[in-house]
Amino acid sequence: QDMELVKLLDLKAEWVLWQTGLQLKYGDVTLFRMKEVLHNSAAHYRQLRFKLKQEGIWCDVDLQNMSILEIYFPVESLIIKPIPTENTENNIKEHLVIDPTLECTAQLLALAVDHIDILLEDWYPTLGTRFVHTSEGKYLITRIIPCPQCLSNESELNLNEFPHSNSHLLDAISQDQEQAIGYQNLYRIRKSQESYTSECDSGVGPDSAGSSRIPSMEGHPGVQIDEQNGSEKPVYYCWMVEECILAAYNSKVVTCPTHGDCPLARIAPDTIFMDLGERYIIKPENIKKGRLLGRGAFGFVFKGTCKIRGTNNVIDVAMKMLQPVQPGPNARQSALIAFKAAQGKWDRDPLQYACKA
């Protein structure tokens, strides 16, 4: 009913493009940004110490010698308050809150990631295919998600380096949470500068119990020291996207050693199908698995029953289980053999097969 407020909000979202990135803005609010993080950028990723969990061990991440592509979603709620004036009545205290739609945010995230993956797989298959390793066992491309709480503690991390426009649009912006998703080409680094640059292989890792080498931190790009007090800089933890996909099968959370459990709904909503919306999600209590019907090229097909949404009617359905599921006591021997083979693959490399599923 406030025509002035309607006029202020009647803005079209616009794309801002430059040579190494793009962003979507609504007034002076950034809705989405995807860019290459340059060495002279205001986003100080390369000045921070990141750790990534690989094979159960938190390893330092070398950001100095790698290219970084960042996908950034500042998931914000907007609070619009009236400006008090001399003519304003004292009882006017109402304000307008505009909350983000998580489904739309997840859809935009999934679309952006899908475009990047398809581009890499179609035009750079050697580089873009998942789980391709170097001779040292490092991923060619490592997709990581930083802990948003770790990043929010960095007061000097200026993620928005663009001038504000239409500053009169909002009187207050309340930021509920930040979701920063960086796609970075990373690998586990060695602690000694000599072994970092050396091409020879002694056959014994510098971190193993049988190694006679004492690693030195001096001059290493991944170990950063605070020049003011001589202490190490704080650690910022992150997770691989593949780890988040695997977590979506069970707990639906990943754990930061500093801040505890972080729900996937906050950092990787597309891994738990939040981009599809409630209308396409079937609650576990509304579907029941029956006997095995057969095997496909990938996965097992079971007979099942599903309760139709909003009614008490139950219909027969076919359920395709993409992860190994016990075929049941009356299954054929060939099905049991196939199940054991699939289960063995999952046990050996759960990240890879969870992503394939």
Q: What share of the chain is helix, strand, coil (3-state, %, to 5)?
A: 25, 30, 45
Classify residue 91 as left (phi > 0), alpha (psi -120 to 50) or beta. alpha
* Amino acid in position 156: E
Joined together, the tokens standing for residue 83 give 């400006």
CB 142 within 8 A of CB 132: no
The answer to whether 320 is a known ligand-binding residue is yes
CB atoms near residue 68 (< 10 Å): 20
Beta bridge partners of 315: 306
Residue 169 exposed, middle or buried by CB count within 10 Å (0-12, 13-18, 19+) = middle
Q: If we measure between CA atoms, which residue out of 72, 71, 63 comes closest to residue 186?
A: 63
- Report the amino acid identity of residue 347: D
The conformation of residue 293, written as its DSSP 8-state character, comes to: E
Following DSSP, what letter does each residue of 237-256 receive, concatenated? EEEEHHHHHHHTTTTSEEEE
- Coil, helix or strand at residue 118: helix
Assess contact for 291 and 328: CB atoms under 8 A. yes
Q: Which of 148, 149, 143, 343 is nearest to 243 (CA)?
A: 143
Going by the annotation, the residues of the binding site are: 320
Going by the annotation, the residues of the binding site for ATP are: 320
